[in-house]
A and B are shown apart, each in its own frame.
Chain A
Amino acid sequence: MLTVAGVSAGYGSVPAVHDVSITVGEGEAVGLLGANGAGKSTTLRAISGLVRPTGGAITFGGTAIASMPAYRITELGIAHVPEGRQVFPELTVQENLEIGAYIPAARAERRRTLDLVFTLFPVLAERRRQLAGTMSGGEQQMLALGRGLMLKPRLLMLDEPSLGLAPVVTDIAFEKIREIHAMGTAILLVEQNAGRALALVQRAYVLESGRVVLQGSSAELANNRQVQAAYLGL
C-alpha cells in the first residue's frame, strides 16, 4: 500500500535521510526504530509531504505522492500524528477532533467517527469543552491519536507516541494503538523505545544516520545481537 523507494530528504542543503526504502502493507503494523537524530521523523515528514524528498519515489495505493502538497496526501488517507503531539492548544478537545475530520470524505462521517473516538478514549469525551493546551501530556497524546483517527485513515503514522509519557500512560497509549490496529488500520510506528515497538509491530526497519541498516520481522530483530545491544539495552 505504501512504498518508499530510495528516498532522500533533508532540511535546506543538509541531508537527513539517504536512500531510504520501506513498505507498509494493507492493515500491517510496521516499526521504524533508531536513535535520536537517525532520521525517523524526517522519513515520516517526507511521506506526509511536510518535507519535500530530494530523490526517490513514494507511492500510496498506487498514487505517486512525493511531489504532492501535504494537504492532498492527507486526502488519500494518510494520518500523521507528529512527534510531540502538536495538538492545537487553543482549540477545544472537540474542535481538535473535528478538524481531524476536515477533509470532505471524513467530514461526511464525522459524527460516527467522533462517537468511536470517544468510546476508545473516554477521557476525551469528558474533556471535550476543555482547551487542548491545558491538558496533561498523556491526555494530549490521546487527543493526537484521536485526531488522527478522525481522518478514518488507511495508514496511521505515529511519531514517538511514548515521548515524555510516564510508563503507565505509555502502556495505555500502546494498548489503544493495538486496538486501532485491530480495527484494520495500517500503522507505521516510530519509536526510540524499541522493546515496546517490537511487541506491537509485525516488521520493523532500523535507521542509523539517515540510512536503513537493518530490517526484518519483530522476532528476528528482537533476537538480533546488534539490536539488543544498541536499542534494547540487553
Chain B
Amino acid sequence: MLTAVAQAIVNGLLIGGIYSLVSIGVTLIFGVVKIVNFAQGEFVMIGMYISFFLATRFGIDPLVSLAVSMPVLFVIGMLLQHFLIRRVLALGDMPQIFLTFALSLLLMNVALLLFTANYRTVETPYSEAAIHLGGITVAVAKLIAFVVAMVLSLVLWVFLHATDLGKAMRAAAQNRDVAMLMGINPDRVFAVAVGVSLALAGAAGSLLMPFYPAYPMVGQVFVLMAFVAVVLGTLGNVTGALIASLMMGVAESLGIQFVGADSGLIVVFAMLLLTLAVRPSGLFGGWTR
C-alpha cells in the first residue's frame, strides 16, 4: 500500500513536470500580455511533431531536437504576437478568446490534414528503461523530462528576476503605460514573452516524444491540466503555476491509482472546485514569485 502511494506520487510528479512547462507558458502570456492562449496545447503538439520528424527522418534523439523545437516555437511565438495577438489587444475579451480558440482549432485540423490522426511514437534507447528504487519504478524517459522541465523553469525564473529584459517583462505586466515611461517597448517585451511561452510548450512536446504518442489532438490533454494549474496557482504567477502543476500531476496519479484508471481527472477537478470555493484567487499571491 505504502509503496503504491509512493509510486503514484513519483509518477504524478514526473508528469507534473510536463504540465508545468505548459502551464507556465499559459500563465506567462496571461500575466504579461493579458490574453488567455487556448492554443497553448497545440504548440506542444507542434513540438512533438518536430521531434517526431527529426527522429524518423534524421535519427535525431528528441532530447537533442529540443534544441530545434524550442527556437522554432520561440520564433512562431514572436510572429504570433506581432501579427495576430497585438492586433486584438485593444478589442476586449471576446475577440481575444475567439482568436486563440480559432487558432487552436485551425492548428489541430491542419495537423490532421498533414499528419493524419495516427498515433506517432519514437523509440529511443531509454524509452523502456527504468530505475528501481526500493519497490518504486522510475521510467528514465519521464525522469529526464522532469529534470529538464525543472531546469527550464529555473532558467525562466532567473531570466525574469536577474535580467533587465526579464524585469522589464514583469514591469510591463504590472503597468504597461508606466513601463513605457521607463523606456520599455511593450510590443517587443510582449513578443519575447509569447516567444518564451511557446518555446516552453515546444520543449514539453520534445520531452514527451520518447514516451508519449503524437497525434493532432494531443495538446488538449495537456492544456486542460495546464489551465487547472494556472487557476490554482493564481493567474499570472509563474511559480504558482509550477507548484500547482506538480500538485495536479500527483492528484491525477493518485486518482488513477486509487479511484480508477479513468478517474484521474475527477480528483483534479474536485481539487479545482474546492480551491475555487475556498480561495477563488488561487493558492498563491499575484505576480512575480
B101 within 8 A of A: no
- Most A-side CB within 10 Å, residue of B175, B178, B182, B185: B182
17 contacts between A and B (CB under 8 A): A48-B181, A50-B181, A71-B185, A74-B181, A79-B181, A88-B175, A89-B286, A90-B174, A91-B171, A98-B167, A99-B167, A99-B184, A102-B168, A102-B182, A106-B183, A147-B182, A151-B182
Which residues on the A side are within 8 Å of B182 (C-beta)?
71, 74, 99-100, 102-103, 147, 151
Q: Is B164 a contact of A98 with CB atoms below 8 Å?
A: yes
Check A86/B288 contact, CB under 8 A, given A102-B164, A102-B184: no
Residue-wise, chain A 94-122 has the 8 Å CB interface mask toward B (1 for contact) of 01001110110011000000000000000
Q: Is A138 an interface residue (CB 8 A)?
A: no
Bound together, the chains give a CA A100 to CA B183 distance in angstroms of: 8
Q: Quick check: A82 and B181 within 8 Å, CB to CB?
A: yes
In angstroms, how far is the closest chain B Cβ from the Cβ of A188?
14
In the complex where A49-B180, A100-B182, A102-B182 touch, is A107 in contact with B164 (Cβ < 8 A)?
yes
Question: Which residues of chain A are near B178, meaning CB under 8 Å?
Answer: 82, 86, 88
Determine which of B164, B167, B181, B186 lies in contact with A91 in the assembled complex, contact meaning CB atoms within 8 Å.
Answer: B167
Cβ of B177: which chain A residues have Cβ within 8 Å of it? 50, 70, 82
Q: Could you tell me the distance between the alpha carbons of A160 and B180 in the complex, rounded to whole angstroms?
A: 20
CA distance A71 to B189 in the complex (A): 12
11 extra A-B contacts, CB within 8 A, seeds A70-B180, A95-B170: A50-B181, A69-B180, A74-B180, A74-B182, A74-B183, A88-B170, A89-B286, A91-B288, A99-B167, A102-B184, A107-B164
Interface residues on A, range: 20 to 34
A11 to chain B, nearest CB (A): 13
User: Could you say which of B171, B185, B287 has the most chain A C-beta atoms within 10 Å of its C-beta?
Assistant: B171
CA of A135 to CA of B258 in the docked complex: distance in angstroms? 48
Q: A98-B164, A99-B167 are in contact. Are A151 and B174 (CB under 8 A)?
A: no
Cross-chain contact B171 with A151 (CB below 8 angstroms): no
Instruction: Tell yes or no: A154 within 8 A of B by CB.
Output: no
CB of B193, distance to nearest CB on chain A (Å): 16
Within 8 A of A (CB), among B155-193: 164, 167-168, 170-171, 174-175, 177-186
Residues of B within 8 A of A100 (CB): 182
The chain A residues found within 8 Å of chain B, CB to CB, are: 48-50, 69-71, 74-75, 79-80, 82, 86, 88-91, 95, 98-100, 102-103, 106-107, 147, 151
Least CB distance, A190 to chain B, in whole angstroms: 15
**Distance between Cα atoms of A12 and B82 in the complex (Å):** 24
User: Which of B167, B183, B184 is the most central at the interface, judged by chain A CB atoms within 10 Å of its CB?
Assistant: B183
A102 and B175 form a contact (CB under 8 A): no
Q: Which of B168, B174, B185, B287 has most A Cβ within 10 Å? A: B174
Determine how close the nearest CB of chain B comes to the CB of A161; give it in whole angstroms: 15
Given A98-B164, A102-B164, also A91-B180 (CB < 8 A): no
Q: Which of B164, B179, B181, B186 has the most CB of A within 10 A?
A: B181
CA distance A69 to B288 in the complex (A): 27
A148 (CB) vs chain B CBs: closest residue: B181
Contacting residues, chain B, for A48 (C-beta < 8 A): 181
A75 to B182 alpha-carbon distance, docked (Å): 9
- The answer on a CB contact under 8 Å between B180 and A50 is yes
Residues of A within 8 A of B287 (CB): 90
Q: Which of B167, B180, B184 contacts A95 (CB 8 A)?
A: B167
Closest 4 CB pairs of A and B: A103-B183, A70-B180, A74-B183, A90-B288
Could you tell me the distance between the alpha carbons of A95 and B167 in the complex, rounded to whole angstroms?
Answer: 7
> Which of A70, A82, A90, A107 meets B286, CB within 8 Å?
A90
Query: Nearest Cβ distance between residue B194 and chain A, in whole angstroms?
Result: 19
Contact B185 A90 (CB under 8 A): no
Question: A132 → chain B, closest Cβ, in Å?
Answer: 10
State in angstroms the CA–CA spacing of A95 and B183 once bound together. Answer: 15
**Residues on B with beta carbons closer than 8 Å to the beta carbon of A86:** 175, 178
Best-buried of A48, A49, A102 by chain B (most CB within 10 Å): A102
Known A-B contacts A90-B288, A99-B168; the reply to A71 vs B175 at CB < 8 A is no
Contact of A70 among B164, B168, B181 (CB under 8 A): B181
- Check if A71 sits within 8 Å of B184, measured CB to CB: yes
Q: A71 — which chain B residues lie within 8 A by C-beta?
A: 180, 182-186
Residues of A within 8 A of B181 (CB): 48, 50, 70, 74, 79-80, 82
CB distance from A109 to the nearest CB of B (A): 14
